[in-house]
Amino acid sequence: MRHDFHYVEELSKSQRSIGRVISIDSIEPNPEQPRIEFGDLTGLVESIRAKGVLEPLLVKPIKSTKRWLIIAGERRWRAAQLAGLTEVPCIELDIDEAEVAEIALIENLQRKDLTVWEESDALASLSQRYSYTHEDISRRIGRSRSTVTESLTIAALPREIRERCRELEVNTKSVLLQIARQFDENAMNSFLDQIESERTSSNEQLRISTSDIATTQEEANDTNIPNSMFDSNPVIGSDKPVIIAKKSVSIVSADLPSSYPIKNFNFVSNENDSRLTLKFKKPVDKDSLIDFLNKIVKELQNQ
């Protein structure tokens, strides 16, 4: 991503910037960096070794020192270190702490790689430390006010509830919002109890409706599926794929509570005789659907 410098200019009261090459050892990471996890740097390291750092880091001079604080670009800085570089191109901005926090947050939001927790906590920091209203944050980061309010609602979850969410790997925004909107901490724990209970009761297995699974060799032949792929007692995780269906196979996951809003998602293979159906009770947002499908894939791989 190239920096759209107009947003930096808008945020910077001084609008003063200096381009320079700075020693890597003279640069420090921002302790208020919104992103906690930086992911695999292998690809970026190889790119930097081959072509160098193509996008300058944004840095702020640290007063009374000959050192600089990273505003945006910590991932590039880390990768440059691993690539063996001794200096990197930078754009130096003389801005205050609030502006540093804004730019660091915006840079990560533009990349769309913050977790729900990271984004929520970063917005909460703008609100609590710098007294920004929901409207202020919305205007400055280019997100709707409702999106900002939802993130701040999640950020307000009690520490104990956060820990339980992480332990249970509850990390989709829609589910976290349902938890946050419970009337007190006891209700939040009850909601999480329900999630945990349903996972335990199912032994984290997928429940498969077998009403349409072929049970005889003749039925399998009717679907034009090779005999070598037929299993009269199909089991997920066996050597033979569970694609042998007269009409459809329905899969339901117990990872979410029974009250979770679930509707329908269908996958139809190239052969008209095969169909994979996920049944949802209510409308579900894109993030939750992706998370739900990822859980199914993970469970299938682990069996």
pLDDT per position as a tens digit, 97-151: 778 877 777 776 766 567 899 889 888 888 888 788 999 888 887 889 999 999 9
In terms of domains, do 42 and 83 share one? yes
- Please write the tens of the pLDDT for every residue from 44-98: 899 999 999 988 998 998 888 889 999 888 889 999 999 999 999 999 988 887 7
The beta-carbon contacts of 151-157 under 8 Å, at least 24 apart in sequence, are 151/116, 151/119, 151/120, 151/123, 151/124, 152/120, 152/123, 152/124, 152/127, 153/177, 153/180, 153/181, 154/116, 154/117, 154/120, 154/180, 155/120, 155/121, 155/123, 155/124, 156/124, 156/180, 157/188
d(CA 256, CA 169): 11
Coil/strand/helix, residue 33: coil
Coil/strand/helix, residue 93: strand
Which of 101, 128, 158 terminates a domain? The answer is 101
Determine contact, residues 147/69, Cβ cutoff 8 Å.
Answer: no
* 255-266 mean pLDDT: 44
In terms of domains, do 34 and 82 share one? yes
Structural domain boundaries, residue 125: 113-200
Range with the poorest average pLDDT among 25-39, 73-87, 231-245: 231-245
In terms of domains, do 282 and 228 share one? yes
In terms of domains, do 20 and 95 share one? yes
In terms of domains, do 196 and 263 share one? no
Sorting pLDDT into bands at 50, 70 and 90, what band is 269?
very low
d(CA 130, CA 112): 23
User: What strands lie across the sheet with 249-252, from one edge to the other?
Assistant: 207-209, 249-252, 275-280, 263-268
d(CA 175, CA 154): 10
* 169-197 mean pLDDT: 90
In terms of domains, do 261 and 238 share one? yes
Which residues partner with 22 through β-bridges?
88
Q: Output the pLDDT for position 300.
A: 63
The four Cα atoms 163, 166, 170, 175 give a dihedral, to 10 degrees, of 40
In a domain, 106, yes or no: no
Which of 101, 127, 156 terminates a domain? The answer is 101
CATH of the domain at 30: 3.90.1530.10
In terms of domains, do 223 and 194 share one? no
What pTM did the predictor assign?
0.52
Amino acid at 215: T
Range with the poorest average pLDDT among 26-30, 32-36, 255-259, 280-284: 255-259
Model confidence at 6: pLDDT above 70: no
In a domain, 108, yes or no: no
In terms of domains, do 225 and 273 share one? yes
Q: Output the pLDDT for position 137.
A: 86
In terms of domains, do 183 and 147 share one? yes
* 177-188 mean pLDDT: 92
d(CA 102, CA 98): 6
Please give the angle made by the CA atoms of 253, 177 and 256, to the nearest 5 degrees: 10
Model confidence at 8: pLDDT above 70: no
d(CA 267, CA 290): 14
In terms of domains, do 179 and 247 share one? no
Q: Output the pLDDT for position 33.
A: 72
Contacts of 44 (CB under 8 A, 6+ apart): 75, 76, 79
In terms of domains, do 13 and 96 share one? yes
User: Following DSSP, what letter does each residue of 217-250 receive, concatenated?
Assistant: HHHHHHTT--GGG--SS--TTSSS-S--BSS-EE
* 210-231 mean pLDDT: 45
Which residues partner with 19 through β-bridges?
91
In a domain, 107, yes or no: no
Which of 175, 200, 225 terminates a domain? The answer is 200
Range with the poorest average pLDDT among 176-190, 211-225, 236-250: 236-250
Which letter does DSSP use for residue 12 in this model?
-
What is the average pLDDT score of the chain?
72
Model confidence at 250: pLDDT above 60: no
In terms of domains, do 265 and 186 share one? no
- How many distinct structural domains can be found in the chain? 3
CATH of the domain at 136: 1.10.10.2830
